[in-house]
Amino acid sequence: MNEIKMMKKILNLAIIFLALVHPVSAKALSLTIQSTFTGIVCAVAGAMYELSTALAVLVILAAAALWIYSKDDASKRNQAKTWIIHALIGLVVIVITGNLIAGVSVGGSSLIGCW
C-alpha cells in the first residue's frame, strides 16, 4: 500500500514538473493516464524529450553567438563548430530515441498520446 502511495506522489510530482515545462502536455497527460506505471513512464519520457530538445537548441544558439563574436579567433570558431556538431548529433539521437519510445506500448497504451 505504501508503494502505491509513493508511486502516486512521484506521478503527481512528474505532472507538476511537466506542467511547468509544457502546460498542454500536462493536461493531456492527466487526462490519458491509464495506470500508475504507464503514467510515470510517459511523464518521464515526455519531460526528458522536451528538456533535452530545448537544451540542444540552446547549445546551438550559444555556439552561434560564440561563432559570431569570435571575430578572427580561429580557436573559438572551431570550438563553436564542435558545439554545433555535437548538438546536432544529440538532436538526432533525441529524435530517434523519442520515436522508439513513442512506438513502444506499455500496458496496452501507446506513449505517443502523452507527448
Number of structural domains the chain divides into: 1
Lowest mean pLDDT among 19-23, 68-72, 86-90: 19-23
User: Which domain, by its residues, includes 81?
Assistant: 2-114
Residue with cell 513502444: 104
Read off the pLDDT of residues 15-66 as tens digits, 9 standing for 90 and up: 666 566 555 554 555 555 456 666 677 778 888 888 898 999 999 999 999 9
Is the torsion defined by CA of 59, 61, 66, 67 positive or negative?
Answer: positive
